[in-house]
């Protein structure tokens, strides 16, 4: 049973689902909690993933407690109905945690795609860091995207035999999607910014500080052009439209379908974001990333110099953007085209390990 709930989960699970369905030995059941409704549907449709059980749990203004309790109960009913031998989910959302917990309660092994990411601060990001740590405690198969994630799991006492470093499935999805015409280093003057912001810890004052940085940059940099796919959460949507609707150099757009977003990243000169997935995707496209967070559970991009933590301090953002726009050495150093998160073959490694673990021979696969 493969479980998805949000747009990022669907993107990263789609290659796993397609590999599983094409394996010849795995009978697959796809379950959607629809923690995100419209955004999830877009991605599933693009990758041609059909859902067997749509739990449709999203409600307006739902609290974490409400979505958690509804998810556990609904997933438990599907597990009772389907009787799976394995449950698989990805990442750090409420859907992931509740899928792992529902499987644990039923005594069913759980496989965690993108296991081992850590900030070690339960409040940052919230609630994702708790979800990750709690999920790892009840996981049987830990599919770590990087060696750093593997080391984090080992430090917590996870059996080395239960961990496989696969690379990140987001690179699988990216390479399946990006337009070949855009998959190259950008040319011309550095002026196109792609902006995304959606994390709970950035609501309120942090978002206002980011907005102040945008206003200052627009005033200082007459060539700067910004594309901002605005997250539908009212905390973000209302602020973005109140402050920047109608500005001639800020293009506020509805959330883009995945293929459109991938190509928007490739078309940009640089990206400013608080998204974990974008931190993984953009380096593979040779696009510098400025991260609107104080810390990250994806340090590999920081360590290799293709991403930089700037937080939400107004002046830190302004200085970092201007450095990319005007210092060719800084820009070239971040636009290396190095992908520390994988080679596009992660999903195949995951399914192969599961075949080995369930003692599926080459003959029986066929």
The CATH number given to whatever domain includes residue 150 is 3.40.50.2000
Judgement on whether residues 232 and 151 belong to the same structural domain of the protein: no
CB half-sphere exposure, 265, CA atoms < 13 A: 30
Judgement on whether residues 66 and 136 belong to the same structural domain of the protein: yes
What is the per-residue pLDDT for 70? Answer: 96
Residue 106 forms part of a structural domain: yes
Beta-carbon contacts of residue 238 (< 8 Å; ≥ 6 apart): none
Quickly state the pLDDT bin for 35 (edges 50, 70, 90): confident
Judgement on whether residues 8 and 150 belong to the same structural domain of the protein: yes
Judgement on whether residues 133 and 91 belong to the same structural domain of the protein: yes
Judgement on whether residues 156 and 33 belong to the same structural domain of the protein: yes
Residue 365 has pLDDT above 90, yes or no: no
Euclidean distance between CA atoms 75 and 351, whole angstroms: 23
What is the per-residue pLDDT for 356? Answer: 94
What is the per-residue pLDDT for 154? Answer: 98
Judgement on whether residues 154 and 76 belong to the same structural domain of the protein: yes
Quote the percentage of the chain above a pLDDT of 70.
96
Euclidean distance between CA atoms 88 and 96, whole angstroms: 9
Judgement on whether residues 286 and 209 belong to the same structural domain of the protein: yes
* Residue 360, both tokens: 């599926």
pLDDT mean over 60-65: 89
Note whether 52 and 31 are within 8 A (CB): yes
Residue 192 has pLDDT above 80, yes or no: yes
Judgement on whether residues 330 and 208 belong to the same structural domain of the protein: yes
Judgement on whether residues 149 and 208 belong to the same structural domain of the protein: no
Residue 361 has pLDDT above 60, yes or no: no
Quickly state the pLDDT bin for 183 (edges 50, 70, 90): low
What is the per-residue pLDDT for 37? Answer: 80
Residue 180 forms part of a structural domain: no
Residue 181 forms part of a structural domain: no
The domain tally of the chain equals 2
- Provide the annotated active-site residues: 92, 114, 128, 198, 200, 231
Q: What are 310's strand-pairing partners? A: none
What is the per-residue pLDDT for 362? Answer: 47
pLDDT mean over 75-103: 97
Start-to-end Cα distance in the chain? 21
Euclidean distance between CA atoms 358 and 356, whole angstroms: 5
Q: Which of 124, 83, 123, 24 is nearest to 355 (CA)?
A: 24
Domain containing 154: what range? 2-167+345-365
Residue 184 has pLDDT above 70, yes or no: no
Residue 173 has pLDDT above 80, yes or no: yes
* Residue 218, both tokens: 């627009």
Q: What b/e sequence results for 44-59 when a residue is b if at least 16 CB atoms lie within 10 Å of its CB, and e otherwise?
A: bebbebebebebebbe
Residue 173 forms part of a structural domain: no
Euclidean distance between CA atoms 318 and 337, whole angstroms: 24
pLDDT mean over 335-341: 89
* Residue 10, both tokens: 């669907």
What is the per-residue pLDDT for 364? Answer: 53
**Helical H runs in 36-93?**
38-47, 64-82
What is the per-residue pLDDT for 276? Answer: 87
Residue 179 forms part of a structural domain: no
Quote the percentage of the chain above a pLDDT of 90.
83
Residue 332 has pLDDT above 90, yes or no: yes
DSSP designation for 103: H
pLDDT digits (tens, 9 = 90+) for 200-219: 899 999 999 999 999 999 99
Residue 185 has pLDDT above 70, yes or no: no
Quickly state the pLDDT bin for 274 (edges 50, 70, 90): very high
Residue 81 forms part of a structural domain: yes
Judgement on whether residues 106 and 255 belong to the same structural domain of the protein: no
Q: Is the pTM of this model over 0.75?
A: yes
Euclidean distance between CA atoms 303 and 321, whole angstroms: 19
Beta-carbon contacts of residue 212 (< 8 Å; ≥ 6 apart): 314
pLDDT digits (tens, 9 = 90+) for 221-267: 999 999 999 998 999 999 999 999 999 999 999 989 889 999 999 99
Judgement on whether residues 100 and 213 belong to the same structural domain of the protein: no
Edge-to-edge strand ranges of the sheet holding 307-309 = 250-253, 225-229, 192-196, 270-273, 289-291, 307-309
What is the per-residue pLDDT for 103? Answer: 98
Residue 154 forms part of a structural domain: yes
Output the average pLDDT for the chain. 93
The region, left, alpha or beta by phi > 0 then psi within -120 to 50, assigned to residue 286 is: left
Residue 363 has pLDDT above 60, yes or no: no
Residue 313 forms part of a structural domain: yes
Residue 328 has pLDDT above 60, yes or no: yes
Judgement on whether residues 40 and 148 belong to the same structural domain of the protein: yes
Quickly state the pLDDT bin for 366 (edges 50, 70, 90): very low
Tell me if residue 30 falls in helix, strand or coil: strand
What is the per-residue pLDDT for 62? Answer: 87
């Amino acid at each position: 049973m493969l479980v998805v709930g949000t747009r990022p989960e669907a993107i990263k699970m789609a290659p796993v689902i397609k590999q599983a369905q094409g394996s010849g030995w795995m009978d697959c059941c796809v379950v959607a909690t629809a923690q995100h409704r419209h955004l999830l549907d877009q991605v599933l449709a693009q990758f041609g993933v059909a859902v067997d059980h749509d739990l449709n749990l999203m409600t307006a203004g739902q609290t974490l407690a409400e979505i958690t309790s509804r998810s556990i109960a609904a997933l438990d009913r599907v597990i009772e109905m389907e009787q799976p031998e394995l449950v698989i989910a990805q990442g750090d959302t409420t859907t992931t945690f509740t899928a792992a917990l529902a499987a644990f309660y039923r005594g069913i092994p759980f496989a965690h795609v993108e296991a081992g990411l850590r900030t070690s601060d339960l409040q940052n990001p919230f609630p994702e860091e708790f979800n990750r740590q709690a999920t790892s405690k009840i996981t049987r198969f830990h599919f770590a995207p990087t060696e750093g994630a593997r080391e984090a799991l080992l430090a917590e006492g996870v059996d080395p035999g239960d961990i496989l470093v696969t690379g990140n499935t987001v690179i699988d999805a990216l390479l399946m999607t990006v337009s070949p015409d855009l998959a190259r280093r950008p040319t011309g003057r550095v002026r196109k910014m792609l902006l995304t912001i959606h994390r709970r810890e950035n609501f309120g004052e942090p978002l206002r500080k980011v907005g102040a940085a945008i206003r200052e940059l627009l005033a200082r940099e007459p060539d700067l052009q910004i594309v901002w796919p605005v997250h539908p959460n009212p905390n973000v949507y209302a602020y973005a439209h109140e402050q920047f609707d109608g500005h001639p150099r800020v293009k506020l757009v509805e959330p883009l379908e995945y293929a459109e977003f991938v190509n928007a990243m490739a078309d940009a000169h640089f990206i400013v974001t608080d998204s974990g997935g974008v931190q993984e995707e953009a380096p593979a496209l040779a696009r510098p990333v400025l991260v609107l967070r104080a810390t990250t559970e994806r340090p590999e991009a920081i360590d290799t110099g293709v991403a930089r933590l700037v937080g939400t301090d107004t002046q830190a953002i302004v200085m970092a953007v201007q450095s990319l726009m005007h210092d060719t050495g800084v820009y070239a150093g971040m636009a290396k085209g190095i992908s520390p998160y994988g080679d596009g073959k992660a999903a195949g490694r995951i399914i192969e390990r599961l075949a080995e673990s369930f003692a599926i021979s080459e003959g029986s696969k066929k």
